[in-house]
Amino acid sequence: MLESFLAHGDTGLVVLRFAVGFIFLYHGIIKWQMPSMKGSMQTMMTVLKIVEPIAGVLLILGIYGQLMALIFGVLMIGAIGM
């Protein structure tokens, strides 16, 4: 049982990477379709419009995975603080 699990451990990580990448890519694309906001929210939304889709694509492709994880962590801490 354990040998079977260990043999497919990398597959699970790839599926998880794709899932998280597609979630952020989707949410970034949705932000491009939202109407403009005013004030400090506009600046934050502009940053998110750019960062989320790019980071999602890079995560899906497996490029700079650890950096993307750090960026996503910072984004999620900011989302919790809102």
* pLDDT value, residue 1: 56
In the chain, what are the domain boundaries?
2-81
pLDDT of residue 6: 67
71: CB partners within 8 A, 6+ apart = 51, 55
The whole-model pTM stands at: 0.76
Q: Going residue by residue through the chain, which has 82 residues, state the pLDDT in tens, using 9 for 90 and above.
A: 557 666 776 888 888 889 999 999 998 899 888 877 777 778 888 888 898 899 999 989 989 888 888 988 888 888 787 6
Report pLDDT for 11: 83
CA atoms of 9 and 1, how far apart (whole Å): 13
Amino acid at 31: K
